[in-house]
Structure 1
Amino acid sequence: MKKTQQKGSKSNDKAWMKWAYVGVALLFAVAMVGTYFSPMFNKGQAVQAGNVALIGYTIRGEDGRPLITTDQGLLEREYQKGNYNLLLSRGMEIPAGIEIPGEEITAIPIVHPPISGFSGFSLLGFEITSMSGGIAGMRPGEMRTISFSYGENRLEASLSEEDAEGLGLNFTEWEVGDLIPLGLTTSPEIPVGNDTPETPALRFGRILAKTPDSLAITYRYGSADITLNSIVR
């Protein structure tokens, strides 16, 4: 898995997040078709291993901060509080009881705001596996918070000031607790021969510590708030 930096200016990040709030109300009617009006099939049936479920979700950082959600009410409340980092997605179909390699990348769609240069919002195999196991026993309409497990994988990186500048980060602008937009890819950043470069998936990193010449970053997430919309099959 390759980490690349896509947006280096902290002030620019805040600008596009603020712009997103201005336009979010216009998006609600369209996004609701795929998220909240999903048919509630098999209402009395509980999810079992092998079933495929349609879920709504909110992915949260380790500090509890929501990062991406299908809950439009939450999105509006967070934007009103000034959390312009929150992204809107749409419902996901997920098999129950699967296990996939921890660092495998799944890109889920970003519905709002429109962001160029990314294939979607990245979830790792650690998180998909936790969500897949956590929905077992849920029934349509039920909500559950599922904590992510990473085993001994810390998913941390240390960047020198020189490294940060090379990734497009203005080192002096960033502080402990800030979210940094990163790009995750599975292929080398520089294509070989006629290969085309892989479009990275967006991943938020959080600054754990800062010294005069380095940043310590984690790109682990904390949990997912899951709503089971329906059992597809």
Structure 2
Amino acid sequence: MAKEKSAKKKDDWTKTLTRVFVVIILISCVLGFSLTLGFFSIFKSAADGSGIVVSYTIRDDSGVAVLSSDDTVIQNEVLIAGASQPLQMVIGQNYTDFIVPIEVYMYPNGWNTYAFFEPELTTIADEAKGMHEGDAKTVLFPFGETMTREMTAEQYGLIGGNYSETAVGMWIPLGFAPQPEVVLDNETAPETVATRMSKIIAKDNNTLTVQYGYASADITINQLI
């Protein structure tokens, strides 16, 4: 009888060990599968149709940071426009409007609608092809230097500016309608107007030349979706 009980206990113990072993094997398989997926995700690169989350810093032709979602830049550089969340986009997507509004925190006014341009977003997406998560690069906007507008002293006054106080190198806010179109007075302003910081690059007795295009973007791929 004692032998039967001993044999039964041994059999129960063997079954318990077998269950524990099976559980350990299953956990190992799950962990191994997850690690394998993580390992192979290193080699995944952005391509047409890829969803990407991009941290960025927009700069002018002198390297000044205009707009950024990069925490390091936000903490250590003076931003002309403000800070925003990283961009989320799909490589190859088509934008129906030239102006693509995003939300930007502009001190001291708080959150505002900011004018991003379709060529800027398209260039960032195109240049992201082949990049992996964590990769970083500088993307050039060669079209930025052509994005200028002349404004008379009267027109500048219509948007609340004081012409006598302006100087080359100053940044001023301009309002852009979706067409795009610089909004010069409240009477013709459409319902949707996005702000964009623009730099005065020339001035004479009655005319300002304002550049609203930017030179480049420093980008980092935060995530591939």
Q: TM-score, normalised by structure 2?
A: 0.71
Q: CA deviation at 1:206?
A: 0.9
Does the CA contact (< 8 Å) of 1:143 and 1:225 recur in 2?
A: yes
Moved more, 179-188 or 161-170: 179-188
- Which structure: greater helix fraction? 2
RMSD, matched Cα: 2.8
2:46 aligns with: 47
2:101 aligns with: 107
> What is the letter of the counterpart of residue 218 of structure 1?
Q
Count of residue pairs the alignment pairs up: 182
Q: In percent, how many aligned pairs have the same letter?
A: 27
Q: CA deviation at 1:138?
A: 0.5
Q: 1:132 to 1:150 in 2, by over 3 A?
A: same
2:220 aligns with: 227
Aligned counterparts, 1:52-131, within 5 A: 52-78=51-77, 83=78, 85-98=80-93, 100=95, 104-111=98-105, 113=107, 115=109, 118=112, 120-131=113-124
Q: 1:50 to 1:147 in 2, by over 3 A?
A: same
Q: CA deviation at 1:191?
A: 8.3
Does the CA contact (< 8 Å) of 1:75 and 1:86 recur in 2?
A: no
Q: Distance in 1 between matches of 2:202 and 2:130?
A: 40
Q: 1:96 to 1:114 in 2, by over 3 A?
A: farther
Q: TM-score, normalised by structure 1?
A: 0.69
Q: Distance in 1 between matches of 2:47 and 2:223?
A: 13
Does the CA contact (< 8 Å) of 2:81 and 2:197 recur in 1?
A: no
Q: CA deviation at 1:216?
A: 0.8
Aligned counterparts, 1:122-201, within 5 A: 122-150=115-143, 154-186=146-178, 197-201=190-194
Q: Which has the larger radius of gyration?
A: 2
User: Which consecutive aligned stretches of 4+ in structure 1 deviate over 4 angstroms post-superposition?
Assistant: 187-192
Q: Which of the pair has the greater relative contact order for Cα pairs under 8 Å at 6+ separation?
A: 1
> What is the letter of the counterpart of residue 108 of structure 1?
I
2:8 aligns with: none
